[in-house]
């Protein structure tokens, strides 16, 4: 029997980033990549990320979370999804601060008076082997990577970092001037990124405002990617393009990102939207059952 057949789910979104939450805390069975892919299909609950809640491992945390992309691969962090699960757990427990554990570490989240949620995404990592990159680069604020003709590249010199998952940020004058659905997959799978990468275009509007579009590793074009907004904000501050607090406009709306001075933690604040609840049709998983 598949793990997800007939299992309940909650469909939510964070700025249009399609999030499905499955609660495995009572029956903590593993979800295979095949099952996650089937669940993301048109007859399932199409998602960019599925957040699976498991019993807490570290004392004091609310749940261990596994994050699946559309293609069945797993991610260490998902900012928009973390706001969604925080709002569900806040409703369930009445708590004013939650802590979730993922493969990438601990993430705190709390509601604001205006209904938005903040996630403490932790400390960004800049060393080449932490991103990770395949080759040693001393300075990751701009690495030698380009696509297009050698003497007239289409995109070049991205800032790279890890925000719990790998990100490359290309600085451009107009995020809409590029065919990201064509360029994105080439860069996501470029050999410089041994674990692939989330690929973003970022446009500096002012010292307090960025516009960002992202091709997500394992999920493709999305309306919003929280960790990419954080990576763009931190990279912008790190290269003196902006200050440490910025509004990031994504196709789905705005996030406020603060790269806190006192401890270098990155705080992301944005909305949560509940859509509907359902159960996965067991027929979706017939193939993975047979395997």
Ligand X SMILES: N[C@H](CCC[C@H](N)C(=O)O)C(=O)O
Binding site for substrate, by residue number, is 17, 49, 69, 79-80, 165, 198, 216-217, 226-227
Which among 116, 211, 194, 197 is positioned nearest to 163, based on CA atoms?
Answer: 197
Catalytic residue, from 63, 85, 169, 225: name it. 225
CA-CA distance, 164 to 268, in Å (whole number)?
Answer: 14
Query: In this chain, which of 20, 75, 104, 266 binds ligand X, going by CB under 6 A?
Result: 75
The nearest distance, CB 6 to ligand X, in angstroms, is 27
Stretch that binds ligand X, among 104-112, 129-137, 211-219, 242-250 (CB under 6 A): 211-219
Query: In this chain, which of 2, 3, 13, 80 binds ligand X, going by CB under 6 A?
Result: 80
Residue 66 in the binding site for ligand X (CB under 6 A): no
Dihedral of alpha carbons 210, 198, 90, 87, sign: positive
Residue 203 in the binding site for ligand X (CB under 6 A): no
The nearest distance, CB 151 to ligand X, in angstroms, is 33
Residues touching ligand X, count (CB under 6 A):
19
Catalytic residue, from 40, 75, 78, 183: name it. 78
Stretch that binds ligand X, among 38-46, 51-59, 201-209, 215-223 (CB under 6 A): 215-223
The nearest distance, CB 159 to ligand X, in angstroms, is 16
Residue 102 in the binding site for ligand X (CB under 6 A): no
Residue 87 in the binding site for ligand X (CB under 6 A): no
Residue (24 or 232) nearer to ligand X, CB = 232
Residue (217 or 241) nearer to ligand X, CB = 217
Within 224-283, which residues bind ligand X (CB under 6 A)? 225-227
Contact 96, 108 (CB under 8 A): no
Residue 107 in the binding site for ligand X (CB under 6 A): no
Per-residue tokens: 135:
């080759």
Q: Is 225 a catalytic residue?
A: yes
Residue (16 or 278) nearer to ligand X, CB = 16
Residue 216 in the binding site for ligand X (CB under 6 A): yes
Residue 2 in the binding site for ligand X (CB under 6 A): no
Q: Output the CA angle 104-107-112, nearest 5 degrees.
A: 155
Residue (5 or 15) nearer to ligand X, CB = 15
Q: Is 84 a catalytic residue?
A: no
What are the catalytic residues? 78, 225
Q: Summarize as ranges the residues that interact with ligand X (CB under 6 A).
A: 17, 48-49, 69, 75, 77-80, 165, 198, 216-219, 222, 225-227
């Amino acid at each position: 029997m598949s793990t997800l057949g007939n299992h309940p789910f909650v469909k939510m979104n964070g700025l249009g980033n399609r999030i499905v939450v499955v609660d495995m805390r009572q029956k903590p069975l593993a979800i295979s990549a095949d099952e996650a892919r089937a669940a993301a299909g048109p007859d399932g609950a199409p998602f960019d990320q599925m957040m699976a809640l498991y019993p807490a491992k570290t004392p004091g945390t609310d749940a261990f979370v596994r994050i699946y992309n559309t293609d069945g691969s797993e991610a260490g962090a998902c900012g928009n999804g973390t706001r969604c699960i925080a709002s569900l757990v806040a409703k369930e427990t009445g708590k004013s601060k939650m802590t979730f554990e993922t493969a990438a570490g601990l993430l705190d989240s709390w509601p604001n008076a205006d209904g938005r949620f903040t996630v403490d995404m932790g400390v960004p990592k800049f060393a080449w082997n932490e991103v990770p990159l395949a080759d040693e680069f001393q300075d990751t604020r701009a690495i030698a990577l380009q696509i297009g003709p050698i003497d007239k590249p289409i995109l070049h010199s991205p800032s790279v970092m890890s925000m719990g998952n790998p990100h490359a940020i290309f600085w451009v004058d107009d995020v809409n001037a590029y065919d990201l659905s064509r360029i994105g997959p080439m860069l996501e799978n470029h050999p410089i990124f041994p674990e692939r990468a989330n690929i973003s275009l970022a446009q500096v509007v002012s010292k307090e405002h960025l516009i960002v579009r992202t091709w997500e590793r394992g999920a493709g074009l999305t309306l919003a990617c929280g960790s990419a907004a954080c990576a763009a904000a931190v990279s912008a501050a790190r290269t003196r393009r902006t200050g440490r607090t910025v509004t990031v406009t994504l196709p789905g709306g705005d996030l406020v990102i603060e790269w806190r001075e006192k401890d270098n933690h990155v705080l992301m604040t944005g909305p949560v939207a509940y859509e509907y609840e359902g159960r996965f049709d067991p027929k979706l998983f017939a193939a993975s059952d047979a395997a």
